[in-house]
Amino acid sequence: MDMRTPLGKVRGLGSAKEGTEHFWRQRLTAVANVPLLIFFVFFVARYAGAPHADLVAALSNPFVAVIMGLVVTSALVHMRIGMQVIIEDYVHAEGAKIALLMLNTFFAILVGGLCLFAILKIAFAG
Amino acid sequence: MTNVTRSRPLSPHLQIYKPIPTMVMSIMHRITGGALYFGTILVAWWLIAAASGAAHYDWVSWLFGTLIGKIVLFGYTWVLVHHMLGGIRHFIWDLGYGYEKHFATKMAKATIIGSATLTLIIWIVGYLVR
């Protein structure tokens, strides 16, 4: 027997009111992360330990700067919702869960802010 | 009542089953994801160091270049590649393929072999193009 109201069925968002949004965003960023992180891994392997001027010169290239910005953004969105699931799976005390979910978002935004600021500063000011 | 609850039989759980490749790769996917999460601190640190000028950058670069630093970076690369291959395995499942038991086990084994091999290749290529 279907207990759902006609309106609930039409909206198709389920009890969490998010529908497939989390799943879809997770897969969307996962697909984006494949080429982005391949670029990132080779970039790090190439420039880890490189002289400061070399790294700055590389990051000053508009193409490299934009790709790095996309790497950071896509990876952080992906990891934020991934950590959200880990917290929801293992932390059952309501207060601690909400606190950790908040911290999770703060962490992702802080790391994102630092990375994007650094990339833009290098790209614009060297 | 307490006694009734306590002496209830427990259903078999993780410590009962012999670990099989798909099981191990499942939790590895989560662990590597969690490691990558905290590893972003290193990425932010490196980029901020590069943006703050040569003096601070040289110090961070020296730190990452020590033996421990190199091991951490190499480990971070492996974790990233492993999580990516694990993710590609999930894409295959999302598309509706790869559910057959023996094939799934093969994919799980390929994930670990592939991630180790690719990590080595990445660092060899990374050093060669310098």
pLDDT tens digits along A23-61: 999 999 999 999 999 999 989 888 988 999 999 999 999
A1 part of a folded domain? no
Distance, in Å, from the CA atom of A126 to the CA atom of A112, rounded to the nearest integer, reads 20
Chunked into runs of 10 residues, chain B (130 residues) has average pLDDT values of 66 81 94 97 96 94 92 94 97 95 95 95 85
A9 part of a folded domain? no
Q: Which domain holds residue A85?
A: 21-125
Using CA coordinates, name the residue in chain B closest to A120: B51
| Average confidence (pLDDT) over A72-100 | 96
The whole model's pTM is what? 0.88
Note the helical H segments in chain A. 6-11, 21-47, 52-60, 62-90, 94-125
B83 is in an annotated binding site: yes
Q: What is the pLDDT of residue B5?
A: 64
A16 part of a folded domain? no
A85 part of a folded domain? yes
Residue contacts between A and B (CB atoms, under 8 Å): 96
Q: What is the pLDDT of residue B2?
A: 58
Sorted by sequence, the CB contacts under 8 Å of residue B103 that are 6+ apart come out as none
A96 part of a folded domain? yes
A8 part of a folded domain? no
Q: What is the pLDDT of residue B11?
A: 78
Instruction: Check B94 against A49: CB less than 8 A apart.
Output: no
Question: Which residues of B are less than 8 Å from A44 in CB distance?
Answer: 73, 77, 126
Task: Single out the residue of A125, A122, A124 nearest to residue A47, CA to CA.
Answer: A122
CATH value at residue A30: 1.20.1300.10
Task: Single out the residue of A110, A17, A125 nearest to residue A65, CA to CA.
Answer: A125
Question: Which residues of A are less than 8 Å from B92 in CB distance?
Answer: none
ipTM of the complex: 0.89
Tokens linked to B80: 């990233």
Q: What is the pLDDT of residue A11?
A: 82
Tokens linked to B106: 């093969």
Instruction: Check A86 against B40: CB less than 8 A apart.
Output: no
Higher-scoring residue by pLDDT: B75, A2:
B75
Instruction: Check A45 against B61: CB less than 8 A apart.
Output: no
How many domains is chain A partitioned into structurally? 1
Answer left, alpha or beta for residue B97, where phi above 0 means left and psi between -120 and 50 means alpha: beta
pLDDT tens digits along A9-26: 888 787 777 888 999 999
Question: Which residues of B are less than 8 Å from A68 in CB distance?
Answer: 47
A26 part of a folded domain? yes
Distance, in Å, from the CA atom of B111 to the CA atom of B22, rounded to the nearest integer, reads 10
> Domains in chain B, start-ordered, CATH in brackets?
21-128 (1.20.1300.10)
- 3-state SS, one letter per residue, for A66-91: HHHHHHHHHHHHHHHHHHHHHHHHHC
